[in-house]
Amino acid sequence: MQHPDMTDENFYGYPPSTKKDWIRQALIETGANNVEQLMFNDEFEGLVIPPFFAAEDRGPGNLSSLLGNPVFRREQWENISFIDLDNDSPDVISAVLALGIDGVVMQWSGEGDLDVLLHKVKPEFLAIWLKPKGNAVRVLQQFLRWADANISEKSQLRGGVLWDALVMGLRSKTTQLAVARELITLHGLTRDYSGYRGLCIDFSYYYHSRFNVTHEITYGLGAMLEVVDILTSQGEVLEEVLDNLFAFISAGSDFFLHQSKIKVLRIMFRKLLQLYEVEDGSHALYVFASTSDDNHDDKDSENNMVRNTLEAMLVILGGSDALWVKGHSEDASAVFSRRTAANVSNLLRYESHFDKLGDAVDGSYYVEYLVETLLQKVEKTLAQLEEDGGWWKVFPRLNKGPKTTEQ
């Protein structure tokens, strides 16, 4: 029988504090005139953040139970490193493959013989994320020819193509028709490989273009809608298109905000499935995450290692499927730099046991507040984006100069 004191709210001899008590005490200690003065106003993100949260601040929905769904949280993730087939020697490639990793980002121009460059690589045991230089279709075709010769069945190939046709088309001022043709070709080449995804939605592009998180998610989802609409209008099967999509995101310095970003992205993907009347709950968005490109200054390499570790933690806790920890210094091409980067992910798995603890922020009122707030903002801005004509019409004219919350 449980001791009655163990369930008594007055166990410590005094009644529990209420939110009103906390507010009253905070006003006394800070000298503020009202609780509004204790709020933090993040003008860039367009967020007003209260100084503390309580259970009563939870929204009326079932957000907490939703975030606990296995679809929205991942305990296992793939540890990804990097090789450059145009510049790395065979010895460097072999050294990188021996880092205890699950996959690589493989940058390649299409030049050279893959049988020579990858003579020790067995694709059935390694996820390969192809990062094309130049003509993405040509590079992908050459890679798939090599892969087909080295696997016994298409399902053994894992990874994807790190090439957002819309973003790259925008950069090169390609016509919408040419981009559509490229998307159709990329999808056609990869749709029969169940573990290899050919339709990348590069959310990191909007982050590095200095849009805030709300607009990063909005424009990424807007691009996703464009891709789906283009392909289905050409007779492609909706479910096959959805399963061939993946999101590429970059972590940021705000631990809880960028963790919440991933959760919001997954929830919004589920909402899009409902919009397309997809009843099968097995479709889940694959999220490939990397640490930020900002952590490379040689003068700050030790702090960069700490930043990369925190960013790795947040994308794991956010529920990413793959994690690419980039180098801590400007010489990111060195094997040592790639080894220390890969070890961040390995240490979080094998020593900190992040693959065992589940969602460490489950039940956090602050995270729930961020997710709920971002969801409302994204739904509003995405609806406005579609009303204004969609990504292809709206985003190119916004893609100029520093961004503000007004944009």
Domain annotation for the chain: domains and CATH numbers: 1-37 (no CATH), 63-398 (3.20.20.240)
Q: What is the CA radius of gyration of the chain?
A: 23
Mean pLDDT across the chain: 88
pLDDT score at 3:
47
Per-residue pLDDT tens digits for 318-355: 999 999 999 876 676 789 889 999 999 999 998 988 88
Provide the terminal-to-terminal Cα distance of the chain, rounded to the nearest Å: 61
**Considering only CA atoms, which of 206, 379, 200 is closest in space to residue 286?**
200
pTM above 0.85, yes or no: yes
* CA 192 vs CA 104, 154, 197, 198: distances in Å: 21, 7, 10, 10
pLDDT of residue 65: 55
Query: Which pLDDT does position 239 carry in this prediction?
Result: 94
Q: Answer for the pair 104, 82: CB distance below 8 angstroms, yes or no.
A: yes
Residue-wise pLDDT for 325-335, tens only, equals: 998 766 767 89
The answer to whether residues 345 and 351 touch, using CB atoms and an 8 Å cutoff, is no
**pLDDT tens sequence across 47-97:** 998 888 887 777 666 665 565 565 555 668 999 999 999 999 888 999 999
The residue-averaged pLDDT of 293-304 equals 70
Of 201, 235, 237, nearest in space to 219 by CA:
201
b (16+ CB within 10 A) / e for 46-68 = bbebbeebeeeeeeeeebbeebe
Contact 81, 342 (CB under 8 A): yes
* Residue 377 · residue 214 · CB < 8 Å: yes
Question: Is 5's pLDDT higher than 50?
Answer: no
